[in-house]
C-alpha cells in the first residue's frame, strides 16, 4: 500500500463525481439512443508480402470474429495467396485469423485477405435499465478473470477499491473507473503501435501513459478487479468520423495504421455497455488545435458520449487476450490486432514496415 499511496499522480481521492445520466451525445442528435441509424457495409483487405523469406514461412492475418445483433456483423472472408491458407478460430477466446504457410521460396510469398462487415452507431440509454439477458456463470467468470498482463489482485485491486469506494451500483462503479482513467492517464504519441497493456506495470510505476491498448486495458483491469465483467475489443477504424472529430476516424482508404481497441463493461439490466476512455485522451492530445483542456466543450462532449456509445466507423476483430498462434515458433501474444508473420523461427516485428510489409485498405460498399 505504501507504493500506491505515495504516488500523487494516481489522485484516487480526487476523481470527479460520476454521473448516472445518459450520454449527452452532442456529437449528433440525442435520437441516436433510440435510432442507431442505417447499417453501413465495408470491404476491408489486408495484403501481406514477405520480402526476405526463408525455408519455412507463415503468417496469421486477423479477421472479424464479432457478431453483435445491435451494432456489428461479420459477413464473410475470402483470400488469394500463393501459399496454403486456412481460416481458423481459436476454441478458447474466439479470435479468428487466416493462417498461411509457404514451404518454398521460389516465389515471393503473399496473401491478400478481404473481409466484408456491417456496422452502425451504438448507444445505450443509461437513464434506466432495459431487458438485457444476464450473463451465464461461465461468461461472468471468463470476463472477470485475470490475464497475463491484466491481473485483478494486488495493486490493481487496491486501486479499484479506492476508486469505487462509495459507489452503490454496478453502473456507478463503471462510471467512477471511467472518469478516473480519463482524468489520470494521458496519451503518449511515442508509444509504439497501440501499446502493450501491462496494467500492473503502469500502476506500480505511476506512469499511466500509452495508447488505446494501454489505457483501455487499464479500464478493463480495474473493472474486473471491482467484480464487473469487462473486455477489450480489438479492431481497426475504417472510415472518418461523421461528427467532425478528425482524431476519431481515418483520413483515407489506407487504414494500415488505424488499429484501435475499445472496451465494454457488462452491467446488469443494461447488457454490454460501450466504453472508450482512451479515445477521450486521444481527443485531448490530437484534436485541433491540439492539447485541449479537459473542460473544453469538444472534450466534454467526447467524454460523455464515450461512456455508453460508439460511432460505427470501426471494425471489431475479437475480444482475445493471451493468444497462441497455431504453428508459431514465437511466444503468445497479449492480443491479436495486427497481422503476424514468421520467417523460419524468427517472429517479424509487426510494427516495423522495413522488415514486415503489409497494407490494410477499407472501402465502403453501402448502396
β 40-49/309-310 pair status? unpaired
HSE (side-chain half, CA atoms, 13 Å) at 188: 16
Q: How far apart are CA 237 and CA 314, in angstroms?
A: 4
For the chain, give percent helix, strand, coil, nearest 5: 25, 30, 50
Q: Are 325 and 339 in contact (CB under 8 A)?
A: no
Q: Is 180 left (phi over 0), alpha (psi -120 to 50) or beta?
A: alpha
Distance set, CA 269 to CA 133, 225, 304 (Å) = 8, 20, 20
pLDDT under 70 in the chain at which residues?
1-35, 105-106, 367
Q: What domains appear along the chain, each with residue ranges and CATH number?
A: 2-15+121-317 (3.10.620.30), 41-119+321-364 (2.60.40.2250)
Nearest to 284 by CA among 160, 184, 172: 184
In sequence order, what are the beta bridge partners of 61?
Answer: 98
The predicted pLDDT at position 75 comes to 97
The predicted pLDDT at position 35 comes to 60
In the numeric block, which cell numbers belong to residue 294?
Answer: 479537459
In the numeric block, which cell numbers belong to residue 33?
Answer: 439512443
Distance set, CA 48 to CA 113, 261, 293, 361 (Å) = 9, 22, 40, 12
DSSP string across 243-302: TS-GGGS-SSSB-TT-EEEEEEEEETTTEEEEE-HHHHHHHHHHSTTSS--TTSHHHHHH
Phi, psi (deg, nearest 5) at residue 97 = -160, 160
pLDDT tens for 186-195 read 999 999 999 9
Phi, psi (deg, nearest 5) at residue 361 = -130, 155
For residue 9, what is the DSSP state?
Answer: G
pTM of the model: 0.91
The predicted pLDDT at position 131 comes to 85
Q: Is 308 left (phi over 0), alpha (psi -120 to 50) or beta?
A: left
SS3 165: coil
Q: Are 353 and 49 in contact (CB under 8 A)?
A: no
- Return the C-alpha torsion angle 284, 286, 287, 289, nearest 10: 100
Q: Are 150 and 197 in contact (CB under 8 A)?
A: yes
In the numeric block, which cell numbers belong to residue 43?
Answer: 470491404
β 209-210/186-187 pair status? parallel
- The distance of Cα 241 from the centroid of its chain, to the nearest Å, equals 17
Distance set, CA 65 to CA 18, 74, 77, 318 (Å) = 33, 6, 10, 6
Amino acid at each position: 500500500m505504501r507504493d500506491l499511496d505515495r504516488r500523487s499522480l494516481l489522485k484516487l481521492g480526487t476523481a470527479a463525481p460520476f454521473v448516472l445520466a445518459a450520454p449527452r451525445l452532442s456529437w449528433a442528435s440525442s435520437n441516436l439512443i433510440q435510432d442507431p441509424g442505417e447499417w453501413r457495409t465495408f470491404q476491408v483487405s489486408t495484403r501481406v508480402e514477405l520480402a526476405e523469406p526463408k525455408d519455412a514461412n507463415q503468417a496469421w492475418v486477423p479477421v472479424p470474429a464479432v457478431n453483435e445483433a445491435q451494432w456489428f456483423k461479420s459477413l464473410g472472408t475470402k483470400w488469394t495467396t500463393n501459399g496454403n491458407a486456412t481460416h481458423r478460430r481459436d476454441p478458447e477466446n474466439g479470435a479468428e485469423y487466416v493462417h498461411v504457410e509457404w514451404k518454398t521460396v521460389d516465389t515471393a510469398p503473399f496473401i491478400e485477405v478481404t473481409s466484408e462487415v456491417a456496422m452502425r452507431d451504438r448507444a445505450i440509454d443509461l437513464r434506466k435499465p432495459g431487458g438485457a439477458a444476464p450473463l451465464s456463470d461461465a461468461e461472468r467468470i471468463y470476463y472477470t478473470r485475470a490475464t497475463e498482463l491484466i491481473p485483478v489482485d494486488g495493486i490493481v485491486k487496491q486501486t479499484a477499491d479506492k476508486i469505487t469506494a462509495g459507489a452503490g451500483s454496478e453502473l456507478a462503479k463503471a462510471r467512477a473507473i471511467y472518469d478516473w482513467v480519463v482524468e489520470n492517464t494521458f496519451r503518449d504519441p511515442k508509444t509504439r503501435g497501440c501499446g502493450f497493456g501491462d496494467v500492473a506495470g503502469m500502476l506500480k510505476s505511476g506512469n499511466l501513459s500509452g495508447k488505446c491498448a494501454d489505457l483501455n486495458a487499464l479500464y478493463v483491469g480495474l473493472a474486473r478487479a471491482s467484480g464487473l465483467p469487462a473486455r477489450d475489443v480489438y479492431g481497426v477504424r475504417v472510415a472518418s468520423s461523421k461528427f467532425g472529430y478528425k482524431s476519431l476516424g481515418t483520413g483515407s482508404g489506407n487504414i494500415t495504421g488505424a488499429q484501435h481497441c475499445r472496451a465494454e463493461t457488462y452491467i446488469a439490466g443494461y447488457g454490454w455497455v460501450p466504453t472508450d476512455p482512451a479515445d477521450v485522451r486521444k481527443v485531448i492530445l490530437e484534436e485541433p488545435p491540439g492539447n485541449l483542456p479537459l473542460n473544453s466543450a469538444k472534450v466534454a462532449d467526447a467524454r460523455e458520449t464515450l461512456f455508453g456509445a460508439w460511432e460505427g466507423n470501426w471494425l471489431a476483430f475479437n475480444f482475445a487476450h493471451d493468444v497462441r498462434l497455431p504453428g508459431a515458433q514465437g511466444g503468445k501474444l497479449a492480443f491479436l490486432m495486427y497481422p503476424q508473420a514468421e520467417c523460419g523461427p524468427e517472429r517479424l516485428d509487426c510494427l516495423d514496415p522495413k522488415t514486415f510489409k503489409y497494407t490494410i485498405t477499407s472501402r465502403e460498399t453501402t448502396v
